[in-house]
Every structure is written in structure tokens, then in C-alpha cells.
Amino acid sequence: MIVGFVMVSNKPSSFIDLRYQADERPPPSLTFGLGVQLAVLCLGGIVLTPSIVIRAANGSGAYIAWAVFAAVVISGITTVIQAYRWGRIGAGYVLCMGTSGAFIAVSITAINQGGPAMLATLVVISSLFQFALAARLALFRRIFTPTVSGTVIMLIPVTIMPIIYNELSNVPEGTSSSVSVTCASVTIVVILGIALKSTGIWRFWAPVMGVLAGTLLAVWYGIYDTESVAAAAWFGIPKIEWPGFDLSFEKEFWLLLPAFILVTMVGAIETIGDAVAIQRVSWRHPRAMDYRSVQGAVGADGLGNLLSGLAGTVPNTTYSSSVSVVELTGVASRYVGVVVGVTFLALALIPKVLALVLAIPGPVVAAYLTVILSMLFVLGMKVAVQGSPDYRRGLIAGVAFWIGFGFQNEKIFPEFFSQFAGGIFQNGMTAGGLTAILLTLVLEGAQRNRHRLEIDFELSSLPGIREFLHQFAVRRRWNPATIERLEAVSEEALVSLLEREEEKGVRRRLLLVASQKEGEAVLEFAVGASSEENFQDRIELLDQRDTGTGLEREMSLRILQHLASSIHHQQYYDIDILTLRVKLAEPGSKTKAAAS
């Protein structure tokens, strides 16, 4: 799930034990078997989410069938694209796509207030923001922080659970309440029992086994809709129930748009986390993070949302179970992702299979989603506090969550805010998410120790960079050894960046940002992307190379490796960001940079 933008040390990591890494082709039988297994593992969530949304909004059965069919098809298409990049769209890894539970609450509200056509319009427009985020991911890294995304994730169950609990009573008329209690209890007990007691890959089958147990009990009690399953065809597609678009753009649309955009951004951050995690487990030899692959994953997510809007179904996102399955099986081949996507497409053409899932009674679905959303809430807490944040970020998460909770339950001055800005704060995710973003911007603005220099990206700019860093250090009363170390680091960083230039004669600008954090100087060099090479990967190879002929060419990197406590190179399609952390020199110490 979401891990945000992470700092990576320049120290070597241990090798990962993989049977097949991302670019290798396993035997066809293994590829097919694992792909089908992963597809079956994800199918329930893909089918149940649009079903829950439309049933809660009192939609027709025909629309449910169409929305589920479209969701499965779109999940198949985007899963294949994630495995094989289509231009700048796609991660190039096994990332299963499926309908997003984060959109349940806002989608139900959209259908209730404006019908399926309004939902389609909102999804299409909000997907454009996801494309913008993918294209300019580097610009948003300080706004959509783990604190913001974690807070919104925690608020998703807060907004959804009241709707989910209504499913507990969604049974045929005349059914005893004890039947609902029994089916829901058995479902949740089986899920928790397997999840808590089992290990390995069986743990990921816990939700499926729990739903299966609850469904079999529902069949015993006669509340499982066997008639709809029997009536479903074995092959074919459902009647097209395309809702069209609502282009009236009335008040309800503008009130819901911020919530859709916010949830879309959170979904993108979730995809960022999955794209980062899948890279870490897909190669035997650890590699520096490729943020172009992350951008591609977000772009594929945006494409899935756009197609979902055009089809009139619930948006999708990446499923983090992909990462866990790769870790467990040791098979990271992207060919598995292709099989998963093709399997989705095949299952979409078998209405009988989809009908089996759609007929699952409300109490079983409610129990299943209770566990899933509980895990989502815990995930949000982990994301919000990841990296041991200081009290400021903890304060942001806490205040934003409870503000969102209060607005969702209409406990914060409802007589005023129910009408303020058209009632935009009635949605807890919107209120809490906007609060977290606002407080994060205030925190960023309060950090006045960040200084910037924009200068031509060429070697002749070195004196200007040295003077900038000298003044930065003098203001903090750092000793001469620290100043000398910063100047040496900046020189070697500039030389290394210039060595990567492929388009000679192209005029570029360099943005240098200097700050102090946790007793270290932080230097951030940002320049237009120009090379496929990554500094972290090159440093990883330094000690493995023959030092006879390549020593002089790699000297700058060796000096950086010696002087910087960490080197973090983020490569995007439009910009490279090289972040160096430099420990402050002890009083009276001398740097070895001059000798180097």
C-alpha cells in the first residue's frame, strides 16, 4: 500500500531470493497457474465493490450487471498495461488492478444525488487530475505526504462503515434476524481465524475462504440468490446500460467534485506506494527506485479511472496483494501480470462466474468488508506515522482525522457548516483531507531554513554555488570544516550530473535547495532529466568494478560516497532530483575533500 516518497541510504542492501525476477520468463505452466490464482484472489473485490455501491444507491439489477462487467474488463486491460508499459503509461511490473473501495462512499452519494450519469462525469474529470499528478509527480512530493494520505485513508472507513452495516439487514423479506447474525458471524470468524493462525500464502486466501463459508451457510438457510445464478448465461456480455454523462454541472456536482479529486489523489498515492514496493521485491540485486516506473503506474491508474468513467462504473486502483504474492512465491515476472489481466478479461465473458459473486447475501458482504476496511484503517495509521515523524506531523494527522470524523457525523457546528460553501464539509474525507493538506502547507511554509538558488546548469556556475552555500553555512554559524565539506560535495555533485549529459549544447537550469534537518545539511539538486543512469546504482557498483581503468571516471562518485551520509536519486520523466545529506563536521575537524 502507500509508503510515500522514501529516502534510501547509499549503503548496499542484501540480495533478494527470487526464482524469477521482473524481466525473466518462467515456464508456461507456472506462469499460467500463478496468474490464474492471483486473478481469482482479486476477483471478489473487483465484483463486490460496484455491486455494493449500486445496491446501496438503489440502482437497478441491469446497471449492476453492466457496471460489474465493465469493472472486470477495465481491470484486465489496465493490469496488462501495468505489466507492459504503453509509452509512459504502465509500471512494467506485476500490479493487479481492481475497483477501489476508497470510492464507495462518494460514489454512492453521487448516484443518490445525480444518478449514474453524474458519477460517470465526476470520475472522468477527476481522472484528469491523476494524469496531471503522474506527469508532474516531483512537484507534489511535499504536499501529498504520508501524513496527508494516511489521514485520508483512516477516514475512508469512517465514511463507509455506516453504509456497509446497512447490508447486514439486506436479506429476503421474512428472513429471521438470527440467520443474518449467523452468516455474518461465521464469515468474520473464518476470515480472522485463518488470517491470525495461518502463515504463508494461505493468509491471503482468508477473505475468500471466509466469504465461501458464509455463502455456503447462506445457501443452507435459503437466502442465497440461486435463481439469478441459474438464469445467468455461461458466455456473453450483459445488456449495455451505459448511463451517459451529466453535463448540467449543477450544485451537487460542484459539491462532490472536491471529494472525488481528493479520493483520486489518495488512490494515486496508494498506487505510488504499491509501485515502490513492487520494485523492491522484483529484482535479485537491489536497484535504486525508478520513479519513471512509479509515474507510469499512476498513469495506468489514471487510464483505468478514465475508462471507468467512460463506462459508468466505479474507479479502480492497484491491489497491494500483488506485492505480497511476489514476496511469497519468489516469482516477479511481468508475464504473470499479463496472465492475470487476460484471466480477468476471460472471466468477464462468463456471466455465470460473476453472478456467483453478485448473489452473495448482504450479511456476508458486510462481514467481509468489515475486516477489509479495518485493515485499511490500520494501514492509514501506519502510513500517517511512518518514518517516526516528529510531533508536528503527528499533530496534523490527529487533528485532521478528528475534524473529518466530526464533520462526517455532523457534530461540528452543523447549523453553520451544513450550508457553508454549499455543504462541502459534510463529507468527512473532504473536510479531514483538506485540513491535513492545509496544515502541511503551513508546516512547509514555516520551515524558513530552506534556501534556494536557481542558476545555469554548467561548470562555470560552480563559484556561484560555492558562494551560495558559504552564505547558507555562515548564517548558521557552522565551522570552516563544514563549509569546506559542503563546497566539496556540491562540486562533485555538479560534475557527476554534468557527466551524465547526453544532449550537449542544450541550455538547462539547476535549482539548488539547501536546508538543515536532524543535525545534517540537506542539499537538493534538481535539473531536467537527461540520462537513464542512476547514481545509487552506479555507487552500488563502485566496489564491484575493476579499479584499474575506471577509477578516474568514477572519482566524483567516490568522493560523494565518502562525504555524504546518504545519496537519494529520484529520476522522473521531466526532472532528476539528487538529494544529499551531509553530516556537520565536528569543531576542529578537517575534511578530506581537499586532498581528494
pLDDT tens for each residue of 86-103:
888 998 888 889 888 778
| Cell numbers that stand for 67 in this block | 457496471
> Residue 145 carries which side chain, given as an amino acid letter?
T
Quick one: pLDDT at residue 308?
93
> Residue 234 carries which side chain, given as an amino acid letter?
W
The mean per-residue pLDDT over the stretch 403-410 comes to 82
Region of residue 363 (left: phi > 0; alpha: psi -120 to 50; beta: else): alpha
How many folded domains does the chain comprise?
2
pLDDT tens for each residue of 249-275:
888 888 888 888 878 887 787 788 778
Residue 506, pLDDT > 50, answer yes
Answer yes or no: is 9 within a domain. no
- Same structural domain, 180 and 326: yes
Give the DSSP H/E element, type plus range, for residue 579. Answer: strand 575-583
Give the DSSP H/E element, type plus range, for residue 475. Answer: helix 462-475
Least confident of 124-128, 153-157, 442-446: 442-446
pLDDT tens for each residue of 449-491:
678 888 888 888 889 989 998 888 888 888 888 888 888 888 8
Residue 1, pLDDT > 50, answer no
| Cell numbers that stand for 94 in this block | 506485476
Answer yes or no: is 343 within a domain. yes
Residue 556, pLDDT > 60, answer no
The mean per-residue pLDDT over the stretch 348-353 comes to 84
Residue where the block lists cell 534556494: 452
Share of the chain above pLDDT 70, in %: 82
Domain final position from 445, 462, 494: 445
C-beta of residue 577 within 8 angstroms of C-beta of residue 525: yes
- Select the highest-mean-pLDDT range: 19-28, 284-293, 461-470: 461-470
- Same structural domain, 410 and 484: no
Instruction: Write the CA distances from 489 to 9, 14, 544, 560, integer angstroms.
Output: 16, 27, 23, 6
Answer yes or no: is 20 within a domain. no
Domain final position from 445, 461, 492: 445
Tell me which residue range forms the domain holding 288. 28-445
pLDDT tens for each residue of 509-543:
888 888 887 778 888 888 876 656 555 555 554 45
Query: pLDDT category, 8, cuts 50, 70, 90?
Result: very low
Count of Cβ atoms closer than 10 Å to residue 551 Cβ:
12
Please list, in sequence order, all residues whose beta carbon lies within 8 angstroms of the beta carbon of residue 46, skipping any fewer than 6 positions away: 71, 72, 75, 98, 99, 316, 344
Q: What DSSP character marks residue 586?
A: P
Q: What is the pTM of this model?
A: 0.71
| Cell numbers that stand for 100 in this block | 477501489
C-beta of residue 322 within 8 angstroms of C-beta of residue 96: yes
CA dist., res. 231 & res. 585, Å (int): 77
| Cell numbers that stand for 310 in this block | 467512460
Quick one: pLDDT at residue 546?
46
Answer yes or no: is 114 within a domain. yes
Q: How many CA atoms lie within 13 A of 284 on its CB side?
A: 9
Quick one: pLDDT at residue 360?
78
CA dist., res. 122 & res. 170, Å (int): 28
Q: What DSSP character marks residue 529?
A: -
Q: In this predicted model, which residue has the larger pLDDT, 14 or 385?
A: 385
- Same structural domain, 232 and 269: yes
CATH number at residue 578: 3.30.565.10
What average pLDDT is seen over the chain?
A: 78
Strand partners, 511: 454, 526
Distance of CA 501 to the CA centre of its chain: 32
- Same structural domain, 304 and 346: yes
Residue 80, pLDDT > 90, answer yes
Domain final position from 445, 477, 493: 445
| Cell numbers that stand for 558 in this block | 567516490
Quick one: pLDDT at residue 299?
92
| Cell numbers that stand for 224 in this block | 442465497
pLDDT tens for each residue of 163-182:
778 777 777 777 777 888 88
Answer yes or no: is 148 within a domain. yes
Answer yes or no: is 51 within a domain. yes
- Same structural domain, 201 and 292: yes
Query: pLDDT category, 587, cuts 50, 70, 90?
Result: low
Answer yes or no: is 1 within a domain. no
Residue 57, pLDDT > 80, answer yes
C-beta of residue 163 within 8 angstroms of C-beta of residue 105: yes
- Same structural domain, 439 and 459: no
- Same structural domain, 398 and 479: no
Quick one: pLDDT at residue 302?
92
CA dist., res. 232 & res. 234, Å (int): 7
∠ Cα 581 144 126 (to 5°): 150
CA dist., res. 389 & res. 369, Å (int): 30
- Same structural domain, 457 and 429: no
| Cell numbers that stand for 569 in this block | 536519486
Quick one: pLDDT at residue 537?
52
Q: In this predicted model, which residue has the larger pLDDT, 80 or 291?
A: 80
Query: pLDDT category, 291, cuts 50, 70, 90?
Result: confident
Residue 310, pLDDT > 90, answer yes
- Same structural domain, 85 and 192: yes
Q: Where does 166-199 have alpha helices with state H? A: 177-197
Q: In this predicted model, which residue has the larger pLDDT, 185 or 373?
A: 185
Answer yes or no: is 201 within a domain. yes
Q: In this predicted model, which residue has the larger pLDDT, 485 or 563?
A: 485
Residue 553, pLDDT > 60, answer no
Quick one: pLDDT at residue 121?
93
* Residue among 311, 256, 310, 263 at smallest CA distance from 124: 310
- Same structural domain, 546 and 434: no
- Same structural domain, 395 and 457: no
Q: How many CA atoms lie within 13 A of 481 on its CB side?
A: 11
| Cell numbers that stand for 332 in this block | 516477479
CA dist., res. 302 & res. 315, Å (int): 9
The mean per-residue pLDDT over the stretch 377-383 comes to 75
CA dist., res. 102 & res. 261, Å (int): 12
CA dist., res. 127 & res. 261, Å (int): 8
Query: pLDDT category, 204, cuts 50, 70, 90?
Result: low
Q: What are phi and psi of 318, to 5 degrees?
A: -80, 150
- Same structural domain, 419 and 462: no
